[in-house]
């Protein structure tokens, strides 16, 4: 049964999974206790399963994940970053199960069809990053975190479900090393204001200067690399960016 | 098998929840406080008389249960808070209510800074709030304040709040198996943003925390009790797990053997014995206490003593020890028991000479304060054996229902999602 569905859900020409078989609603409730497995601690996560080509003879992974795409959706950003930073391990985190499946299949297919052994450094995990980021990453492990077009949760009573908030920034500051960068972008102006304000008010983050933004090759990917970004560009919409650096801090 | 009982328990949510009785002792044993349901009962051990609480804050007396009580380290203040969404700060000398803070949500844990300058309370949505106390030591009654946000565990019930012995860190433990160690800031009202570490290792909700420290090792080591049948020892600066002590074997001391294999036993309460590396631990379903010894050089935990409590059914729901004496005070009780007319009851017992060979559970007459104390703290109505044992089970079930995550089978999940639009068509 599995083989048959695989043949129809994958395109015969590109070998890549067909998106329409992995459609899911845009929202998933971050408040509910979902049934995916949760690692007890970062030591309990076997990243060697995610990055088999970065493993030494003793089956131990040789380096740690440095980039995390929170709410990676269909994986567009990861795929663009994979070739820009081929020696860096990156992971996408996504709450929706069908979408995570799609990204998994997409990465495996890209690895298979790549002639230069690319895409071995990206992977995806299904989890609720608002609750379990410290379960996956150690203190100061990450050098980049991405929050592209997060769910705006328009109603005021739902603002607490927003992935960027003063409280959650404490946790993101914990997993980011000093000097690490957090990238956020949205097409919803109010959310853009909100995220920027949260970051400005948080004592452990400072804004990147204009020169720094221009010289960072990742910044232009924020708009162009993802499905969501491309949709906004097609509709001629405006985007609102907030890119901040995690600073060394003493309470 | 847990699922069916969860469906029934949803109906009970509208009524008041079963809440365990709590006990706390003044650091120099000047007084003892017991909370049962909405009732706070205090006995003065210096003047050997019951205490009348003076509370001038307006508002009708609430029926909801108190969920957390605590004396400050100095013994000057006492805090009580709970399901009535109020945090009451009392003078532990005059027993006037100095301040009442309104919380948005039900309160599940409280802590007081060592210099009595701030009171912290945590709610069932994972937020920890802080209130600054100014001029409280002058004994004035201040208008109600509102708390400022300190930190938050996203959508999780915070079960315990604790300060490290050196005051550098504040700890918050939750039902999502996490302990967060945050650097205590110079200006708490601006929030505690710098996380020092996470102590991750438990596989179930955390119920209680305590620090073991000696004059030589002032930074202290953390012990945590959980629903996963373990007490764990941690180094909080790095978040590393030093040792794990499995306590389900202690429950094997029960006389009656249910034919189930080692089930998970929840650790109810843990209490460090001052000026020692020992801690007293109470667990569900066990009529007694056991002592854990912490080897601070080898960083290990081991059970050194198991003390069974003789007499009628008595499973402690809360334990406390004062810094001055070596008496372990215990209370067993609950409020809002289903099918009971009692609003709540409590039974108090004391174990003396904990660490020595001759530790014993004191008879009622031998307890400091004697019959007068027991009358004040237990109430006048005698408690039947059947009520006591039913209470222990009700408390266990209530805690499990509150803190344990609900696991649904595939069919149940699909059934719950049946009205969603995207679930109707499957490819």
Burial of A4 (0-12, 13-18, 19+ CB in 10 A): exposed
* A224 pLDDT above the threshold of 60: yes
Q: What is the token pair recorded at A29?
A: 């409730």
Classify residue A11: in a domain, yes or no: no
| A97 touches B: beta carbon within 8 Å | no
Classify residue A157: in a domain, yes or no: yes
Number of domains in chain A: 1
Classify residue A156: in a domain, yes or no: yes
CA distance A147 to A69: 6
| A169 touches B: beta carbon within 8 Å | yes
Q: In the 8-state DSSP scheme, what is residue B424? A: S
Q: What is the pTM of this model?
A: 0.88
Average pLDDT, chain B: 85
Report yes or no: B219 and B166 within 8 Å, Cβ to Cβ: yes
pLDDT score of B250: 75
- Which residue among B155, B190, B192 places its CB closest to the CB of A31? B155
| Long-range contacts, stretch B8-15, CB < 8 angstroms, 24+ apart | B9/B397, B9/B401, B12/B338, B15/B336
* A34 pLDDT above the threshold of 60: no
Q: What is the token pair recorded at A73?
A: 């959706």
Contact list in A for residue B201 (CB cut-off 8 A) is 40-41
CA distance B396 to B383: 19
- Of B161, B165, B148, nearest in space to B114 by CA: B165
Q: What is the pLDDT of residues A35-90, one digit of tens each?
A: 678 899 999 999 999 999 999 988 888 999 999 999 999 999 999 999 999 999 99
Classify residue A4: in a domain, yes or no: no
- DSSP H or E segment with residue A167: helix A166-175
* B138 pLDDT above the threshold of 70: no
CA A33 to chain centroid, in Å, comes to 21
Span B402-410, mean pLDDT?
A: 77
CATH code at position A214 = 3.40.50.150
CA distance A194 to A197: 5
Tokens 């999940």 belong to residue: B413
User: pLDDT band at residue B1, thresholds of 50, 70 and 90?
Assistant: very low
- Which residue among B152, B406, B427 places its CB closest to the CB of A33? B406
Classify residue A25: in a domain, yes or no: no
Q: Say whether A139 and B197 touch across the interface (CB within 8 A).
A: yes
- DSSP H or E segment with residue A224: helix A221-224
Q: What is the pLDDT of residues B261-298, one digit of tens each?
A: 556 789 999 999 988 889 999 999 899 999 999 998 89
* A32 pLDDT above the threshold of 60: no
Percentage with pLDDT > 90 across chain A: 67
Rounded to 10 degrees, what is the CA torsion of A175, A177, A179, A185? -20
What's the complex ipTM? 0.87
Classify residue A22: in a domain, yes or no: no
Task: List Cβ neighbours of A205 (8 Å cut-off, separation of 6 or more).
Answer: A169, A173, A182, A199, A244, A245, A246, A247
CA B97 to chain centroid, in Å, comes to 22
| A249 touches B: beta carbon within 8 Å | yes
pLDDT score of A160: 87
CA dihedral (B35, B39, B43, B44) positive or negative: positive
Å between B181 CA and nearest CA of chain A:
11
- Of B344, B323, B414, B355, nearest in space to B83 by CA: B344
- DSSP H or E segment with residue B69: strand B66-71
CA dihedral (B412, B415, B416, B422) positive or negative: positive
* B425 pLDDT above the threshold of 50: no
- Bridge partners of A147? A184
User: pLDDT band at residue B13, thresholds of 50, 70 and 90?
Assistant: very low
Span A119-133, mean pLDDT?
A: 94
pLDDT score of B7: 41
Classify residue A118: in a domain, yes or no: yes
CA distance B169 to B236: 9
Task: List Cβ neighbours of A104 (8 Å cut-off, separation of 6 or more).
Answer: A123, A124
Q: What is the pLDDT of residues B224-236, one digit of tens each?
A: 999 999 999 999 9
| A178 touches B: beta carbon within 8 Å | no
Span A89-115, mean pLDDT?
A: 93
The length of chain A, given as a count of residues: 251
Q: What is the token pair recorded at B257?
A: 């053997």
* B143 pLDDT above the threshold of 70: no
- Residue ranges making up the domain that contains A84: 35-246
The question of whether A187 is a catalytic residue gets the answer: no
| More reliable by pLDDT, A204 or A1 | A204
- Of B196, B197, B160, nearest in space to B176 by CA: B160
Report yes or no: A10 and A18 within 8 Å, Cβ to Cβ: yes
* A97 pLDDT above the threshold of 80: yes
Q: What is the pLDDT of residues B325-374, one digit of tens each?
A: 789 999 999 988 877 766 788 899 999 887 777 888 998 888 898 888 99
Q: Say whether B200 and A134 touch across the interface (CB within 8 A).
A: yes
Per 3-state DSSP, chain B is made up of helix, strand and coil in percentages (nearest 5) of 15, 40, 45
Q: What is the pLDDT of residues B376-393, one digit of tens each?
A: 998 777 777 788 888 888
* B6 pLDDT above the threshold of 60: no
CA distance A123 to A65: 10
User: pLDDT band at residue B217, thresholds of 50, 70 and 90?
Assistant: confident
Task: List Cβ neighbours of A144 (8 Å cut-off, separation of 6 or more).
Answer: A66, A67, A68, A180, A181, A182, A183, A218
| More reliable by pLDDT, B420 or B243 | B243
Report yes or no: A240 and A186 within 8 Å, Cβ to Cβ: yes
| More reliable by pLDDT, B214 or B111 | B111
Backbone angles phi, psi at B243, to 5 degrees: -160, 155
Classify residue A73: in a domain, yes or no: yes
Span A21-27, mean pLDDT?
A: 61
Q: A3-17, B34-48, B147-161 — which is least confidently predicted?
A: A3-17
């Amino acid at each position: 049964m599995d083989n048959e569905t695989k043949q129809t859900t994958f395109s015969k020409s590109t070998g890549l999974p067909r998106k329409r078989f992995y459609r899911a609603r845009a929202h998933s409730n971050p408040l509910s206790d979902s049934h995916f497995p949760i690692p007890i601690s970062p030591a309990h996560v076997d990243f060697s399963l995610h990055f088999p080509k970065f493993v030494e003879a003793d089956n131990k992974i040789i380096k740690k994940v440095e980039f995390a795409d929170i709410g990676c959706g269909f994986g567009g950003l990861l795929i663009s970053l994979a070739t820009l930073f081929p020696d860096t391990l990156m992971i996408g985190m996504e709450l929706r199960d069908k979408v995570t499946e799609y990204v998994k299949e997409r990465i495996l297919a890209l690895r298979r069809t790549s002639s230069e052994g690319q895409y071995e450094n990206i992977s995806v995990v299904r989890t609720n990053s608002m609750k379990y980021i410290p379960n996956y990453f150690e203190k100061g492990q990450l050098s980049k975190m991405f929050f592209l077009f997060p769910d705006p949760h328009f109603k005021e009573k739902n603002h607490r479900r927003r992935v960027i908030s003063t409280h959650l920034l404490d946790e993101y500051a914990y997993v980011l090393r000093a000097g690490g960068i957090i990238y956020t972008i949205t097409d919803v102006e109010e959310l853009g204001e909100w995220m920027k304000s949260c970051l400005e008010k948080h004592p452990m983050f400072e804004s990147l200067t204009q020169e720094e933004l221009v010289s960072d090759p990742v910044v232009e990917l924020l708009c162009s690399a993802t499905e969501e970004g491309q949709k906004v560009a097609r509709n001629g919409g405006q985007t609102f960016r907030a890119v901040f650096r995690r600073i060394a801090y003493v309470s | 098998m847990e699922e069916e009982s969860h469906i029934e328990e949803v109906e009970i949510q509208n009524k008041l929840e079963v809440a365990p009785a709590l006990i706390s002792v003044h650091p120099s044993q000047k007084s003892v406080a017991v909370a049962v349901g909405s009732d706070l009962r205090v006995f003065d051990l210096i003047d050997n008389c019951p205490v009348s609480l003076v509370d001038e804050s307006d508002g009708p007396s609430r029926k909801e249960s108190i969920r957390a009580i605590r004396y400050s380290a100095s013994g000057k203040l006492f805090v009580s808070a709970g399901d009535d969404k109020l945090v009451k700060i009392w003078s532990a000398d005059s027993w006037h209510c100095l301040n009442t803070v309104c919380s948005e949500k039900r309160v599940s844990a409280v802590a007081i800074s060592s210099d009595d300058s701030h009171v912290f309370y945590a709610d069932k949505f994972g937020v920890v709030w802080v209130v600054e106390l100014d001029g409280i030591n002058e004994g004035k009654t201040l208008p109600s304040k509102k708390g400022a946000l300190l930190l938050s565990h996203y959508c999780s019930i915070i079960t315990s709040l604790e300060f490290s012995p050196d005051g550098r860190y504040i700890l918050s433990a939750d039902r999502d198996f996490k302990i967060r160690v945050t650097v205590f800031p110079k200006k708490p009202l601006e929030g505690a943003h710098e996380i020092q570490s996470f102590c991750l290792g438990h596989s179930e909700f955390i119920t209680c925390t305590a620090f073991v420290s000696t004059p030589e090792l002032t930074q202290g080591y953390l012990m945590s009790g959980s629903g996963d049948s373990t007490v764990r020892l941690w180094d909080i600066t790095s978040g590393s797990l030093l040792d794990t002590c499995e306590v389900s074997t202690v429950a094997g001391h029960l006389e009656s053997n249910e034919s189930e294999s080692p089930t998970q036993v929840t650790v109810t309460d843990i209490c460090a014995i001052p000026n020692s590396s020992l801690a007293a631990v109470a667990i569900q379903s066990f009529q007694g206490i056991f002592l854990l010894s912490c080897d601070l050089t080898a960083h290990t935990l081991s059970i050194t003593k198991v003390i069974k409590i003789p007499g009628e059914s008595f499973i402690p729901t809360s334990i406390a020890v004062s810094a001055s004496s070596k008496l372990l005070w215990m209370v067993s009780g609950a409020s809002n028991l289903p099918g009971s007319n009692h609003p709540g009851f409590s039974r108090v017992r004391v174990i003396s000479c904990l660490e020595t060979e001759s530790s014993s559970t004191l008879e009622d007459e031998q307890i400091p304060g004697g019959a007068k104390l027991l009358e004040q703290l237990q109430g006048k109505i005698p408690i039947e054996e059947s009520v006591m044992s039913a209470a222990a089970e009700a408390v266990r079930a209530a805690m499990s229902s509150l803190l344990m995550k609900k696991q649904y089978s595939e069919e149940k999940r699909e059934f719950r999602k049946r009205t969603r639009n995207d679930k109707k068509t499957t490819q």
